[in-house]
Structure 1
Amino acid sequence: MNNRTGAIESVAGNSNFAVNSALSFGYRWFDPERWGHWSFDLDFFGSYMGVGVSGFGMSDHENLGFLGMRGRVGYRVWHDRLEPFIGMIGGSVLANTASGGVDHGAVWGYWFSPTGGVRYYIPNTRWSISLDGFFRFIGGVNGLSGPGVTINEAPHAGLGGRWLYEPVGIVALGYRF
């Protein structure tokens, strides 16, 4: 049963998670003589998140492409091998969705998020591994609409706003040139 219209429809699936791929390229400042154990980094960040669900003649999908910049501040501890960090990330998003076989179109918007995590530097190598988590707030994707449905029609800040949001966890390998 469709809760919005009250009509009885074919069964459709629901996806509660998605795979998110990301690529970043930037610069990290770490000068123990000048800043001690503090490090700073700034990078360009691009990622793609896609979800598709099909069942009983129905198909839903959500495709989001994110481009932005990320800035973080870290503090190296434990023989300069472990680095907890915090920062901010944000930029533009291209969104495309479909539900019930109806394409809602594609539209640009914006996104931002606080970020935090920890990086481990592998001894005697140029490699590091990090765990990074952030909570994306996605707004401004007006225009995604279909019969009787408009997604994120009037986004505004605050708990009562109509933000799309997504929690993201990333495991990353890093290489220092």
Structure 2
Amino acid sequence: MEAMKEMVDQELGELRETFTSGRTKSLKWRKRQLSAIIEMVKDKEDEICEALFQDLGKHHTEAYRDELGIVKRSATTALKCLDQWVLPKKSKLPLIYLSVKGKVISEPLGTVLIFSSWNFPISLCLDPLIGAISAGNTVMIKPSELSPNASSFLA
């Protein structure tokens, strides 16, 4: 148990260092990560479907509809919209600040922890991952132990 805690602490430290370095703020880095998720899902589709069949008895069509298709669509949408999402947005200010203009600038916050569920272990892990990466955060994933084959794939 102590060894597991040390391993998690070490991984968390690396994630925090990566975030602090500012590497995740780059749009180029974010887009590369999102593209890699899309490619992984395309390249490993059969492997993912087999893991979902072994864990949950999901047929290939169901696995694609409920898991893989959702992840591909989310990542593709994020890639298309990322440039727009990071632009500063105008903000209304109280009348007392009549001559001042306000903007909301989206900034990443740090490291995100994602707990995946057992019933949709791929989509409910990778979909929040897409959002976190799009925002410029680093991510630690905790797959469900109740779907061991999908968890093994994600690891």
TM-score range, shorter chain: under 0.3
Please give the TM-score of this superposition, normalised by the length of structure 2.
Answer: 0.26
Structure holding more helix per residue: 2
Structure with greater contact order relative to length (CA < 8 Å, sep ≥ 6): 2
Please give the TM-score of this superposition, normalised by the length of structure 1.
Answer: 0.23
Rg (Cα) greater in structure:
1
